[in-house]
Amino acid sequence: NAGVTQTPKFQVLKTGQSMTLQCAQDMNHEYMSWYRQDPGMGLRLIHYSVGAGITDQGEVPNGYNVSRSTTEDFPLRLLSAAPSQTSVYFCASSSEQAGSTDTQYFGPGTRLTVL
């Protein structure tokens, strides 16, 4: 049981490049979320999914796309990276809604730098 895994751990992009941050969980959780963490700002919700095929926007969705084709995987896509997207990205999952009585489990994070 690996929990929530994220790849890569580190990534450097040039402005305008695209990439996909991978997130997978092996706990059969329906709910998955992506957050970004910036200094002095805590975590901010980017997108979330309540099950395969269902996604919705969070607080800061602009510049990011998501899809959820399987229960296990929830990739985050940057179509045209910008320096403002330099951040640490966390994926999380839970068996119920993120703010429910259930526990939300976080991955170890991906540190992204956009030059």
Partner 1 sequence: AQSVTQPDIHITVSEGASLELRCNYSYGATPYLFWYVQSPGQGLQLLLKYFSGDTLVQGIKGFEAEFKRSQSSFNLRKPSVHWSDAAEYFCAVALYYNNNDMRFGAGTRLTVKP
Binding site for partner 1 (CB under 8 A): 4, 31, 33, 35, 40-45, 48, 50, 56, 58-59, 90, 92, 97-101, 103-104, 106-109
**Minimum CB–partner distance for residue 47 and partner 1 (Å):** 10
Gap between the Cα atoms of 36 and 40, Å rounded: 12
Q: Of 14 and 101, which has the nearer Cβ to partner 1?
A: 101
Q: Whose CA is closest to 114, among 84, 89, 90? A: 84
**Minimum CB–partner distance for residue 80 and partner 1 (Å):** 26
Q: Of 16 and 56, which has the nearer Cβ to partner 1?
A: 56
Q: Whose CA is closest to 33, among 114, 113, 100? A: 100
**Minimum CB–partner distance for residue 35 and partner 1 (Å):** 8
Helices H, strands E: what count in the chain? 0, 11
